[in-house]
Amino acid sequence: MDSAEIAAHIPRLRRYARALAGDSHRADDLVQDTLERALAKFHLWRRGSDMRAWMFAIMHNVFVNQLKQRREIALDEAAEAGLESAPRADPLELRDLDAALRQLPAEQREVLLLVGLEQLSYAEASQALGVPVGTVMSRLSRGRERLRALMSGAVSANNLKLVK
């Protein structure tokens, strides 16, 4: 095992963890838990496969397990890490983007963050989330569409419909 190979992925893991957890302390704990599990389960990694996608899959699973344990459903400040590094962006637009991302369903937000922020391919995101590539594509499409609508003001925050 090459520890340098694993260490090379830590900045991306931290960025994704920050986007998932929203809090730097929880994100650091998530990265540590992910690295511990990756080291303990390194024998399960298939040589020649994408280690980055494998580690994102581990992080995703650890995060979901933590949510279940705490019975926490809402994700806080989902895109804070990506928003902090945006060059010369309007702070009000960033705030609106952050708020819009938090309104997306978790499945759509995760795919948007993996493909948009982390620049994983559809296949890598599929592997990381444990869903078919078609599911990644449809979640991404629906997530982008909903995000556009939220950013343009075309969708209200609650988006409640009257049922008769």
| Contact partners, residue 130, CB within 8 Å, separation at least 6 | 57, 60, 61
Q: How many CA atoms lie within 13 A of 130 on its CB side?
A: 8
Strand, helix or coil at 106? helix
Q: Is the pLDDT of residue 128 over 50?
A: yes
Name the amino acid, one letter, at 50: D
Higher pLDDT, 161 or 98: 98
pLDDT tens track for 114-127: 888 788 889 988 98
How large is the average pLDDT for residues 81-99?
62
| Predicted pLDDT at 73 | 40
User: Could you tell me the domains of the chain?
Assistant: 3-152 (1.20.140.160)
Residue 14: how many other CB atoms lie within 10 Å: 17
Please name the residue ranges forming H helices in 8-121: 10-21, 24-40, 51-70, 80-84, 91-103, 106-112
| Predicted pLDDT at 9 | 87
| Contact partners, residue 136, CB within 8 Å, separation at least 6 | 111, 115, 122, 125, 126, 129
How large is the average pLDDT for residues 39-52?
82
| Predicted pLDDT at 63 | 85
Tell me what percent of the chain is helix, strand and coil, each rounded to the nearest 5. 70, 0, 30
Q: Is the pLDDT of residue 159 over 70?
A: no
| Predicted pLDDT at 72 | 39
| Predicted pLDDT at 77 | 42
